[in-house]
Structure 1
Amino acid sequence: MQRLNLNHLHTFAHVIRHGSFSAAAERLNLTQPAVSLHIRQLEQRLNLRLIERVGKRIKATSAGSTLLEHIGRIDAVVEDALLDLASHAQGVAGQIAIGTGATACIHLLPPILQTLRRQFPALDVRVSTGNTDGILRAVEENRLDLALVTLPAAGRSLSITPLLDDEFVAIFSAEQKTLPPAITPQSLETLPLVVFEAGSSTRLLIDEWYLRAGLRIKPVMELGSIEAIKEMVAAGLGYSIVPRMSVAAAHHRRGLQVQPLTPPLSRTLGIVLRQDKPLGKALRQVLEALQTLAP
């Protein structure tokens, strides 16, 4: 279906406002035949009479009056759109949607988002959390602009760039008096384990660490929240293996002892985009901010 021509609507509004084709033509800097053509094409497009003559003046028909009401709203929407686009042209503005895991959301993104908010007040960065598969699907479907996820990640239409490595550590309650001299899978085998829920990319890495030692873990708790895991461990209900970033700051390791693993275990976080994703000013700025996380 052919769309309405905004110029035709504008011309019609001027004809009714000024009461004649000639007056409208003068205001619009058009010829009178051009104004008549706009009105004729608009009426043909709508298959309605929009103008009628009353004596020497013209007025809108009932259909024309209804159209005038809509033209006012159309003009307002167009004006809003132009203002929004002007802000994009003048600087960094718009909305960027990021998907990531809960740990990165809590422990990596806040200072970056705070800096972006301070530097670019018109930039609206929105963050959602979920499992890696769901986040990647949302990027592929363009419901998310980018993702920060644990690698490996795959998708035929995706561009995946490693960003940083994050070591895993073992955490114990601060009240626990004796710890193994080396934190190995064998030394942890008989201790109660509080761990990430099955199916998460982080849990898969932890499972593999034990499997390489020939062990299968039997957790006493499987939780979806890193903060819940730390609370359970601090309460003396077991030990856990978590990304170091989650206990890097003093206030995030309160009530906990942190120990390195033998052999070491780490994960790689990467940035994921659609390969055909246009890199506008706003998205480029967010990507540059995330790149500051790289060592």
Structure 2
Amino acid sequence: MREISLDRLRTLVEISDLGSFAEAARRLNLAPPTISLHVAELEARVGAPLLTRNRGQVRPTAIGETLLARARRLLADADLALEEVRRQVEGLTGRVRLGASTGAIAHLLPKALEHLRVAHPGIDVQVQVLTSQASLARLREGALDIGLVALPQVAGKGVKVTPWRRDPILAYVPADWQPPAKVTPAWLAQRALILNDSSTQLSRVTGEWFAAAGLFPAPRIELNYNDAIKSLVGAGYGATLLPQEGDAAELDRRIARRPLRPGLWRQLGIACREGQVERATGYVLEALERLL
């Protein structure tokens, strides 16, 4: 069954408001026969007269009044939908789906979102906790707009990854362990360790750091939640290797933070789909680039 056209409904509303077929034709910039055809199609669709003509005045029938009430709401909703889309196309509003690790969300993203809130208050960023691999997979599926991913990564078809920032990886050690000024693989491998699980790029990077010294320590606990790892370090349950995130003043006093020897770095990239991005996504990318 064919649906009722919004154009036909708009014609009905104009005729009712103006009380004239001719005036409605002028208002809508349509030929009078076209106006009559619109009404005839509507009446054929509902199976009843919608308008009456009395002494040159056009008025809706009772059935016409019922349809008019619905038509006004439908047309208002359609106009509102087009206005919302227009604002999103112009970058005044929009929703951006972003995936990142818990560490990046807690310590890096807030500064970007603060800038975005001031510069583009109509942009809504929906944040998801995702591993780098999950972010890339959702980008390829079209279920994500931006991913903050650990490098290196194979982006895959339709996705591009741009290097973003390079942060030092540090040793986080219970303060009462009295760690040296610089922590080596040999010193750390002799202690209880709480490390990222094997699904993460950070696990691979730290494993290579130990392996380069001929060491392959087994962690006491494996997690993929950096703040939880830090809490366990603060409780004296083990040491860890994590990227430097946030300010030193925020660090738990029970935790000593030390540079590594040899040094180690965590590299992050920004992943998004190839081609032209929506304006809202572009504004979020600009806010992230300010954190370099």
Q: Same fold (TM over 0.5)?
A: yes
The residue correspondences of 1:63-212 to structure 2 (distance < 5 A) are 67-85=67-85, 87-88=87-88, 92-154=92-154, 155-177=156-178, 179-180=179-180, 182-212=182-212
Cα shift at 1:159: 1.0
2:123–2:280 contact (8 Å) kept in structure 1: yes
CA contact (8 A) 2:132 2:148 kept: no
SS for the counterpart of 1:161 is strand
TM value normalised by structure 2: 0.86
The answer to whether the Cα contact below 8 Å between 1:51 and 1:58 also exists between their aligned partners in 2 is no
Residue 265 of structure 1 aligns with which residue?
264
Q: Matched residues in 1 for 2:91 and 2:272: separation?
A: 23
Instruction: Check the 8 A contact 2:94/2:123 in 1, yes or no.
Output: yes
Q: Match of 2:10? A: 10
Change over 3 Å in CA distance of 1:10–1:50 after alignment to 2: farther
1:23 is displaced (CA, Å) by: 5.3
Aligned to 1:229: 229
TM-score (norm 1): 0.85
Distance 2:92 2:15 in 1: 40
Deviations 1:246-280 (A, max 9, x none): 5x43113432111111222112100111113x323
Counterpart code for 1:257: A
| 1:49 partnered with 2:47 | yes
Percent identity of paired positions between Structure 1 and Structure 2: 33
Deviation for aligned residue 1:60: 4.4
Structure 2 CA distance for partners of 1:252 and 1:69, relative to 1, 3 Å: farther
List gaps (5 residues or longer) in structure 2: none
Deviation of the 1:4 alpha carbon: 4.6
Provide the secondary structure at the position in 2 that maps to 1:279.
coil
The answer as to 2:279 corresponding to 1:293 is no
Whether the 8 Å CA contact 2:43–2:50 is kept in 1: the answer is no
Deviations 1:89-108 (A, max 9, x none): 76632121211111111111
Q: Which amino acid aligns with 1:283?
A: T
Structure 1 position 150, deviation (Å): 0.5
Structural mapping, 1:23-42, within 5 Å:
24-25=24-25, 28=28, 30-42=30-42
Query: How many aligned residue pairs are there?
Result: 288
Q: Mind listing any 5+ residue stretches in structure 1 that lack a counterpart?
A: none
Distance in 1 between residues matched to 2:41 and 2:212, nearest whole Å: 76
- Tell me how far apart the structure 2 counterparts of residues 141 and 127 of structure 1 sit (CA, whole Å): 17
Contact 1:50 1:60 survives alignment (8 Å): no
Residues 169 and 260 in structure 1, CA contact (< 8 A), matched pair in contact too: yes
Q: Where does residue 282 of structure 1 map in the other structure?
A: 280
- The answer to whether the Cα contact below 8 Å between 1:16 and 1:60 also exists between their aligned partners in 2 is no
Deviations 1:112-157 (A, max 9, x none): 1111102222122221111112111111122211111101222111
1:26-81 deviation digits (Å, cap 9, x = unpaired): 5545443121122234456xx4435256674664474x555434322212212322
Equivalent residues of 1:19, 1:59 under 8 A apart: no
1:186-239 per-residue CA deviation (whole Å, 9 max, x = no partner) reads 222221001122312222222222222232221112222211111111111111
Pick closer, same or farther for the CA change 1:43–1:170 going to 2, 3 Å: same
Go from structure 1 to structure 2 and tell me whether the alpha carbon gap of 1:275 and 1:50 turns closer, same or farther (over 3 Å shift): farther
Is the Cα–Cα contact under 8 Å of residues 51 and 61 in structure 1 kept in the other structure? no
